[in-house]
Amino acid sequence: MTVAEDTAVSLAGHRVTAARRAVLEAMRATPGPFTVEDLCAALPGVGRATVFRTVKLLQEHDVLCRVVLEDGGVRYQLSTGGHHHHLVCSRCGGVQEFADPALDLLIQQNARAAAFALDGHSLELYGRCAACG
Amino acid sequence: MTVAEDTAVSLAGHRVTAARRAVLEAMRATPGPFTVEDLCAALPGVGRATVFRTVKLLQEHDVLCRVVLEDGGVRYQLSTGGHHHHLVCSRCGGVQEFADPALDLLIQQNARAAAFALDGHSLELYGRCAACG
DNA sequence: TTTCCTGCAAATGCTTTGCACGATA
DNA sequence: TATCGTGCAAAGCATTTGCAGGAAA
């Protein structure tokens, strides 16, 4: 699948423009999680505002997921799809995704116990990845 | 326990000043989670910078916990102590705390399965509280 | 051809910093 | 008295918005 093709899929109803394709390619070219600043630096021809607007658009379409660091900093990462959580390495800054139905179930049970109507949740684990030990 | 007393306890090694006492009292007087803006509005005699500095100080001493909203907004809340998670109501903005050892255990198991050395984690549940149904 | 998107620049809003004065231990 | 903390104002950043020109459908 080409970039143009899945961009069209992800952004159905929105125009496929050069700027959007460029932003998406820059995201793909970045190994780990990135900041808006990273994207801007890699895309000298694309305006800062456009990068922000594209990031917001992709988030709304679940193409991009927001990763909140321990210190409150924000990073983004192309979503591998579906519901998942993050393992954020405090040394190399890398982010792994993981999913665990049992965990989600337990979260739902806690919400129910508190008479809370759950819409969604966010779980971030902080520590050192295998490589950083 | 008076404000002065537990301020002294929480901030051991730091001076107990009128501004810090005032900030802490304003926090106690606020029912739900608050923003720095809320505190400043309630404390016309205390400088904005001091409120920010005090909030940071209290966070470092685990007196105050940061609550990240679904849209990325930040609120603060006096910690009831110990490890816990948050139930954030998207209607009234209220935040309940809860803790579940089984959940923490499952989180640790997931980290171990990913060969990840866990330092800490953050879990926020979003939805409607019992009152907002 | 109509509507949507873009770059630029200015505006915002939140948070931090520099500094001289005042308070605390 | 020696530090540490404070208020004020200015600086810093990250993000958003207004707008006129240009591109996509």
Q: Which residue of B has its CA nearest to A71?
A: B66
The pLDDT, as a whole number, for residue B3 is 44
List the A95-98 sheet strands across, edge first.
Answer: A95-98, A85-89, A117-128, B117-128, B85-89, B95-98
Number of Cα atoms under 13 Å in the Cβ half of residue A67: 27
Backbone angles phi, psi at B54, to 5 degrees: -70, -40
pLDDT band at residue A31 using 50, 70 and 90 as cut-offs: confident
3 state DSSP class of A111: helix
Domains belonging to chain B, first-starting first, are: 3-127 (1.10.10.10)
Cβ neighbours of B68 (radius 10 Å): 18
The alpha helices in chain B, defined as continuous H runs, are 3-10, 18-29, 36-42, 48-60, 101-113
A100 CA → D2 C1’, Å: 57
Could you tell me if A25 and A3 are in contact, meaning their C-beta atoms sit under 8 angstroms apart?
Answer: yes
Q: In whole angstroms, what is the distance from residue A98 CA to residue B47 CA?
A: 44
B11 CA → C22 C1’, Å: 21
Partner-chain contact B96 A87, CB within 8 Å: no
Distance from CA of A32 to the nearest CA of B (A): 17
The per-residue pLDDT for range A38-62, each reduced to its tens digit, is: 999 999 999 999 999 999 999 999 8
- How many residues belong to chain B? 133
CB neighbours of B45 closer than 8 A, spacing ≥ 6? Answer: B22
Distance from CA of B127 to the nearest CA of A (A): 4
The pLDDT, as a whole number, for residue A72 is 85
Take residue B21 and report the two structure tokens written for it: 């006492």
A90 touches strand C (CB under 7 A): no
Helix (H) / strand (E) element for A95: namely strand A95-98
The per-residue pLDDT for range A75-133, each reduced to its tens digit, is: 999 987 778 999 999 888 889 999 999 999 999 999 999 999 999 999 999 999 999 98
Backbone angles phi, psi at A96, to 5 degrees: -105, 155
Nearest to B83 by CA among B69, B103, B113: B103
Q: What is the mean pLDDT of residues A9-17?
A: 79
Nearest to A87 by CA among A106, A105, A107, A69: A69
**Residues in A lying within 8 Å of B, measured between beta carbons:** 66, 68, 70, 72, 74, 85, 87, 89-90, 96, 98, 100, 102-103, 106-107, 110-111, 113-130, 133
Model confidence, pTM: 0.87
A14 touches strand C (CB under 7 A): yes
Residues of chain B with pLDDT under 70: 1-10, 12, 81
CB neighbours of B18 closer than 8 A, spacing ≥ 6? Answer: none
CB neighbours of A46 closer than 8 A, spacing ≥ 6? Answer: A19, A22, A23, A40
Residue A6 has pLDDT above 80, yes or no: no
The pLDDT, as a whole number, for residue B92 is 86
Could you tell me if B125 and A107 are in contact, meaning their C-beta atoms sit under 8 angstroms apart?
Answer: yes
| Chain B residues within 8 A of A110 when measuring between CB atoms | 85, 98, 100, 103, 125
The pLDDT, as a whole number, for residue B82 is 76
The pLDDT, as a whole number, for residue B80 is 78
Radius of gyration in angstroms for the set of CA atoms belonging to chain B, rounded to a whole number: 17
Of all nucleotides in the shown strands, which has a C1' nearest the CA of B46?
D7
The pLDDT, as a whole number, for residue A123 is 94
A7 touches strand C (CB under 7 A): no
The per-residue pLDDT for range A95-104, each reduced to its tens digit, is: 999 999 999 9
The pLDDT, as a whole number, for residue B2 is 45
